[in-house]
A and B are shown apart, each in its own frame.
Chain A
């Protein structure tokens, strides 16, 4: 087993804060209550920090290190299809697609949520529909994300949930490493 320090503290803090923030607003807080709004703003702020960190952050935090090009995505699916066990030290291409999807949808949820607090859009039906639809999409994405993380952990032999807590990936010695 080889160990690699991959996720910096800010990445991990961001990930689990986002989990807490989204879960709180999707399940627990009252949408009519101001707490819902404040948690929403906090989630948008978190995403903003993450976007900035993606430009100036540590190596594996940078967007440049996980651009999901069609070629990279195809290669990862080929790995899955052929049972090749190659381990990406940073985010995988498919994982990157999910990250950009989630970051984007979080911002849109925040935007439509904010619109409902303005005089112009308050009570407008399509804004409310869009807000709820985006939340459903985020929930579907999160289910897929968790399923994919568990599947990739099983497939590659790297415990990914633990890496997102400790920041360290423990990789089997016989695995082929991909940057």
Chain B
């Protein structure tokens, strides 16, 4: 649904531009027709002048909208690229962790499924193995990562997303009081600067 929403908005703009081009075509024809007779032409007939200005305005609007459309689509494409870069960078970070923990091939598989939110039963079905096997692999993963649950495993990975600059002293500030939190950050910023 989000997908159609994202593609529909430029499509509406494109449709509007096409409709305006048709209108501009009609009025250009009208102006050219009127200019054939000298009595219709400004300054004799102000109607002609107004019409000509309207046509120029319409064409300017088409040009402006087209430029805006190009800008919009370029911006959208840039954002989409950034998201995909971020997604693959996040995957790299996770991959890195898995590598550091020294997971075996099957543990690696199961770790990915777990991070992606599959339950033990689902992972067992996907890999065609028994739930007991998955559970023991999962326990090995938790042991190597130094965590005790799926939640902790995810927290460990997500921590990296929020910035690796947070050192333990900063973490202690977060776990302190509200006042401690703000002074903690202030101290941190001061020591960095």
Is B71 located at the chain interface by the 8 A CB criterion?
Answer: yes
Interface string of A144-177 (1 = CB under 8 A from B): 0000000000000000000000000000000000
Q: How many of chain A's residues touch chain B, expressed as a range? A: 10 to 19
The answer to whether B32 touches A77, judged by C-beta atoms less than 8 angstroms apart, is no
User: How near does chain B come to A146, taking the closest CB pair, in angstroms?
Assistant: 16
Contacting A70 at CB < 8 Å: which of B11, B25, B26, B77? Answer: B11
Is A29 located at the chain interface by the 8 A CB criterion?
Answer: no
Within 8 Å CB of B18, what residues of A? Answer: 97
Contacting B73 at CB < 8 Å: which of A82, A133, A137, A141? Answer: A82
The answer to whether B70 touches A80, judged by C-beta atoms less than 8 angstroms apart, is yes
Within 8 Å CB of B145, what residues of A? Answer: none
B residues 1-31 touching A (CB-CB < 8 Å): 7-8, 10-11, 14-15, 18, 22, 25-26, 28-29
Interface string of B33-52 (1 = CB under 8 A from A): 10000000000000000000
Is B74 located at the chain interface by the 8 A CB criterion?
Answer: yes
A101 to B25, CA, bound (A): 13
The answer to whether B74 touches A136, judged by C-beta atoms less than 8 angstroms apart, is no
A136 to B25, CA, bound (A): 8
The answer to whether A78 touches B29, judged by C-beta atoms less than 8 angstroms apart, is no
Within 8 Å CB of B76, what residues of A? Answer: 78
A residues 72-90 touching B (CB-CB < 8 Å): 73-74, 77-78, 80-82, 84
Most buried by B among A77, A82, A84, A97: A77
Q: How many of chain B's residues touch chain A, expressed as a range? A: 20 to 34
Closest residue of B by beta carbon distance from A70: B11
User: How near does chain B come to A109, taking the closest CB pair, in angstroms?
Assistant: 13
23 A-B pairs (CB sep. < 8 Å): A70-B8, A70-B14, A73-B11, A73-B14, A74-B10, A77-B14, A77-B69, A77-B70, A77-B73, A78-B77, A80-B70, A81-B73, A82-B73, A82-B74, A82-B78, A97-B18, A132-B29, A133-B29, A136-B25, A136-B28, A136-B29, A137-B25, A137-B26
Is A33 located at the chain interface by the 8 A CB criterion?
Answer: no
Closest 9 CB pairs of A and B: A70-B11, A81-B74, A81-B70, A136-B29, A81-B73, A78-B73, A82-B77, A74-B10, A140-B25
